[in-house]
């Protein structure tokens, strides 16, 4: 073994060790109480670990022109201070665009509380209350009273009783003067919690003046336009201390003091998008994802060893290093693994297997020519290199455009995929060759034995192209017709707007009983779906009605407890924007593929490849519509995965056609294309078949969250094999003016 190969081997071993060191321990472990027992190196997305993702829009329309410049930044600072006091680890509060804020709260389980903390303005005002009885009567009769407005205070006795108050429009004091707020407990009122306020010097002086000149009057404490209490001023208060009481729980008092001390938001904020994944669903996603990945990976490893024997072991070493590099990069650069990221991992596995299959099948061909093993290995790597580079770079180009123009989840897919493909170029081409050199030099390896499930074929694929075009057209038109007829029902809340709420009950529950319960609160037309576990139900509405559903479920299903698994709320405008962004990402990705294939081959090849990609995407869309599965951002990631895998197959055949045009001196262009398709048929079926092992594992063991995604891949990958052979390859002949031409 030469010195260069020795250093390469040392480098590969060092890389293995470095990757394991970077990712260990990989995932965070919590005890039953939710406390972190072990901090993991890899961050999991909210769709895997549970938590909240909220997109807020800062309404700056009501602000003066000079206050719009830093309003969003001030809002971010205030929200971050509030969330800090909630004790949320690894929270993220970031600006998006001109007037949007993204808040991510991993592990948060109290949805309503968190929403209040991040979106409530907390604008506090102290306003005097008029004691003029006649003015109050006029206000109750809808007669305006100059300088005052009618407000109501919830009675401390409860029962929905409200006390009318005539409150001054002008505030005597605002919450801007608060320097400290904390929760205290009343010594006179059975330890009832209240919020104690400390004012700055200016606020203390103003408060002292107001209380000294208005003894005997009520002072309304107004929070976000609502009167929370209205105590009578008994005496002047010069100490700069004030308090707010209002039948608070300890938690409510703590949250209010937190918000008041952090300060009021500079402008109102609106929740435009919310995705809440409960800890139960998050834990199930992790468990199912790991289980499916292990099963799928094990099946791939076993197949490679059985089919390629010693060479399969070498391929598995490279595949393991590939996955370790991806995870190490995520850990090193603080990346986040999400469900679309898993899609990128799956495509990476497929591309890694494909690269090794390409090399091994080339080595098999060289061995058949009677060459020595060493010469066959050298020739196999040399001849497979261009196809490996083309197929990987084609997908990297698409991933780069997806990252540039896509939204968060789709960008996660692009990042994971790009890292995996770059790693694949190293592991498949460099690492495996170094290992083979070691085996040949140090262990005198003279033979490699492979199985061969697919013997050399001589099928006239091109002659059947018109029949295949017709069959494909019928299938696509049928699927798209169903898609069009279903209309907006095709789209999940990601793309149509509205709210999705998923509940799990302790015992199975019938959909009809859920429907009857919803009718009582005017939601009889809500979409109700049950699949998989009869204990689970998904309810889709046009507005967030969680506060209505929980009480009615508790009333109607008293002996059947339930938990919220997830809540997704997307505004109609946001849904439309997400749909447009997803389509833009998909089309730009396909455009990138077209440009690269045109550059490496020709316009004819590029156009034929793109038609095949659209064929596979339309087939998958039709299958989703026929089976009543909904489109969301995860499905877009699946479609991008299908496109990447399909063009990979197509580029390999195109590369073989280009090679045969140089090597084969006799025969028409049709003969060359047919020969190339037959020569690569075994590799096409093998690559897809091995990758399908992972997809099948996701489909059956990946859980409900990954089921639609896996189904889309399953259909798309099968279609990809068909389109590569019967659509992409024949089209370049159909568009050839004369079949005798050889270029």
When computed from its CA atoms, the radius of gyration of the chain, rounded to whole angstroms, is 33
**Is residue 645 classed exposed, middle or buried when 0-12, 13-18 and 19+ CB atoms within 10 A define those classes?**
buried
pLDDT of residue 740: 44
pLDDT of residue 711: 93
Instruction: Please list the residues that pair with 126 across neighbouring strands.
Output: 173, 221
Confidence of residue 67 (pLDDT cuts 50, 70, 90): low
CB 200 within 8 A of CB 175: no
pLDDT of 16 over the 50 cut: yes
pLDDT of residue 739: 43
Q: DSSP letter at 727?
A: I
Q: DSSP letter at 170?
A: S
Smallest CA-to-CA distance from 188 within 245, 113, 255, 252 is with 245
pLDDT of 38 over the 90 cut: no
**Where is average pLDDT lowest: 23-27, 45-49, 198-202, 456-460?**
45-49
pLDDT of 623 over the 90 cut: yes
Q: Name 181's Cβ contacts closer than 8 Å, sequence gap at least 6.
A: 195, 196, 197, 198, 256, 257, 258, 260, 261
pLDDT of residue 251: 86
pLDDT of residue 88: 66
pLDDT of residue 576: 79
**Cα(142)–Cα(136) distance, rounded to whole angstroms?**
10
CB 80 within 8 A of CB 88: no
Q: DSSP letter at 205?
A: H
Q: What is the mean pLDDT of residues 345-352?
A: 81
pLDDT of 440 over the 80 cut: yes
As a dihedral over the C-alpha atoms of residue 387, residue 388, residue 393, residue 394, rounded to 10 degrees, the angle is 50
pLDDT of residue 403: 79
Q: Name 553's Cβ contacts closer than 8 Å, sequence gap at least 6.
A: 503, 517, 562
For the chain, what percent of residues have pLDDT higher than 90? 29
pLDDT of 738 over the 60 cut: no
Instruction: Print burial letters for 100-123: b (CB count within 10 Å at least 16), e (below 16).
Output: bbbbbbbbbbebeebbbbbbbbbb
Q: Mean pLDDT across the chain, nearest whole number?
A: 85
Instruction: Print burial letters for 524-557: b (CB count within 10 Å at least 16), e (below 16).
Output: eebeeeeeeeeebbbbbbeebbbebbeebbeeeb
Three-state DSSP class for residue 741: coil
pLDDT of residue 50: 78
Q: Name 598's Cβ contacts closer than 8 Å, sequence gap at least 6.
A: 605, 606
Phi, psi of 244 (to 5 degrees): -125, 125
Joined together, the tokens standing for residue 569 give 């709320």
- Domain annotation for the chain: domains and CATH numbers: 51-110 (3.30.70.3220), 124-264 (3.30.1360.200), 279-485+576-734 (1.20.1640.10), 498-570 (3.30.70.3400)
**Where is average pLDDT lowest: 82-86, 281-285, 484-488?**
281-285
Joined together, the tokens standing for residue 700 give 């059956």
The residue with greater pLDDT, 367 or 495, is 367
Highest mean pLDDT: which range of 261-270, 517-526, 536-545, 587-596: 261-270
The answer to whether the predicted template modeling score (pTM) of the entire model surpasses 0.75 is yes
pLDDT of 283 over the 80 cut: no
**Where is average pLDDT lowest: 73-82, 582-591, 673-682?**
582-591
Q: What is the mean pLDDT of residues 290-298?
A: 82
pLDDT of 328 over the 90 cut: yes
pLDDT of residue 288: 77
Beta strands in 434-535 (DSSP E): 498-505, 527-529
Q: Which helix (H) or strand (E) holds 169?
A: none
Alpha helices in 427-520 (DSSP H): 432-443, 465-486, 493-496, 511-519
Smallest CA-to-CA distance from 714 within 738, 733, 736, 689 is with 689
CB 197 within 8 A of CB 185: no
Q: Is the dihedral of CA 60, 64, 69, 71 positive or negative?
A: negative
């Amino acid at each position: 073994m030469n010195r260069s190969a020795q250093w390469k081997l040392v480098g590969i071993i060092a890389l293995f060790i470095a990757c394991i060191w970077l990712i260990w321990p990989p995932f965070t472990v919590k005890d039953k109480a939710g406390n972190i027992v072990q901090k993991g190196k890899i961050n999991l997305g909210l769709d895997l670990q549970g938590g909240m993702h909220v997109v807020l829009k800062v309404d700056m329309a009501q602000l003066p022109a000079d206050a719009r410049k830093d309003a969003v930044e001030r809002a971010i600072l205030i929200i971050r201070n509030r969330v800090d006091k909630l004790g949320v680890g690894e929270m993220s509060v970031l600006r998006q665009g001109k007037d949007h804020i993204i808040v991510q709260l991993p592990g948060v389980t109290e949805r309503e509380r968190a929403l209040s903390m991040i979106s409530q303005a907390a604008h506090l005002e102290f306003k005097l209350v008029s004691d003029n009885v006649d003015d109050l009567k006029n206000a109750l009769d809808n007669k305006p009273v100059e300088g005052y407005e009618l407000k109501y205070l919830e009675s401390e006795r409860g029962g929905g009783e409200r006390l009318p108050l005539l409150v001054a429009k002008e505030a005597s004091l605002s919450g801007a003067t608060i320097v400290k707020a904390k929760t205290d407990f009343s010594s006179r009122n059975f330890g009832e919690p209240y919020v104690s306020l400390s004012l700055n010097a200016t606020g203390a002086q103003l408060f002292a003046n107001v209380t000294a000149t208005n003894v005997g009057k009520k002072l309304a404490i107004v929070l976000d336009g609502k009167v929370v209490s209205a105590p009578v001023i008994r005496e002047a208060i010069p100490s700069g201390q004030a308090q707010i009481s209002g039948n608070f729980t300890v938690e409510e008092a703590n949250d209010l003091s937190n918000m008041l001390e952090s300060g009021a938001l500079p402008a109102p904020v609106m929740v435009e998008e919310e995705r809440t994944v409960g800890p139960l669903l998050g834990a199930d996603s992790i468990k199912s994802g790991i289980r499916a990945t292990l099963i799928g990976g094990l099946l791939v490893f076993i197949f490679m060893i059985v089919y390629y024997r010693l060479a399969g072991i070498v391929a598995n070493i490279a595949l393991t290093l590939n996955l370790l590099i991806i995870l190490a990069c995520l850990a090193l650069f603080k990346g986040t693994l999400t469900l679309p990221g898993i899609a990128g991992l799956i495509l990476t596995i497929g591309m890694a297997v494909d690269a090794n299959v390409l090399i091994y099948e080339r080595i098999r061909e060289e061995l058949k020519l009677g060459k020595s093993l060493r010469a066959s290995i050298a020739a196999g790597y040399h001849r497979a290199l261009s196809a490996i580079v083309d197929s990987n770079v084609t997908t990297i180009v698409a991933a780069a455009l997806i990252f540039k123009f896509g939204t968060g989840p789709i960008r996660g897919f692009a990042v994971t995929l790009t890292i995996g493909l770059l790693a694949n170029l190293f592991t498949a081409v460099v690492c495996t060759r170094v290992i083979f050199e070691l085996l040949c030099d140090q262990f005198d390896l003279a033979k490699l034995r492979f199985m061969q499930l697919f013997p050399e074929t001589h099928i006239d694929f091109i002659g059947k192209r018109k029949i295949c075009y017709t069959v494909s057209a019928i299938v696509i038109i049928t699927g798209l017709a169903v898609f069009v007829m279903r209309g907006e029902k095709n789209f999940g809340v990601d793309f149509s707007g509205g709210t999705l709420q998923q509940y799990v009950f302790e015992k199975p529950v019938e959909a009809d009983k859920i429907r009857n319960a919803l009718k009582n609160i005017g939601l009889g037309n809500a979409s109700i779906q049950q699949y998989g576990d009869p204990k689970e139900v998904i309810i889709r509405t046009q507005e967030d009605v969680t506060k209505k559903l929980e009480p009615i479920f508790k009333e109607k299903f008293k002996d059947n407890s339930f938990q919220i698994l997830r809540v997704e709320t997307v505004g109609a405008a946001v849904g439309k924007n997400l749909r447009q962004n997803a389509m833009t990402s998909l089309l730009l990705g396909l455009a990138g593929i077209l440009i690269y294939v045109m550059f490496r081959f020709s316009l004819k090849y590029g156009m034929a490849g793109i038609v095949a990609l659209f064929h596979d995407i339309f087939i998958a869309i039709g299958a989703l519509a026929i089976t009543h599965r909904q489109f969301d951002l995860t499905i877009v990631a699946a479609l991008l995965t299908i496109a990447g895998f399909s063009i990979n197959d197509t580029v390999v055949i195109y590369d073989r056609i280009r090679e045969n045009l140089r090597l084969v001196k006799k025969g028409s262009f049709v003969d060359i294309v047919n020969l190339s398709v037959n020569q690569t048929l075994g590799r096409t079926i093998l690559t897809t078949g091995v990758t399908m092992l992972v997809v099948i594992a996701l489909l059956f063991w990946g859980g409900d969250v990954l089921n639609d995604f896996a189904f889309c891949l399953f259909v798309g990958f099968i279609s990809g094999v068909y389109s590569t052979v019967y659509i992409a390859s024949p089209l370049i002949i159909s568009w050839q003016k004369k079949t005798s031409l050889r270029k």
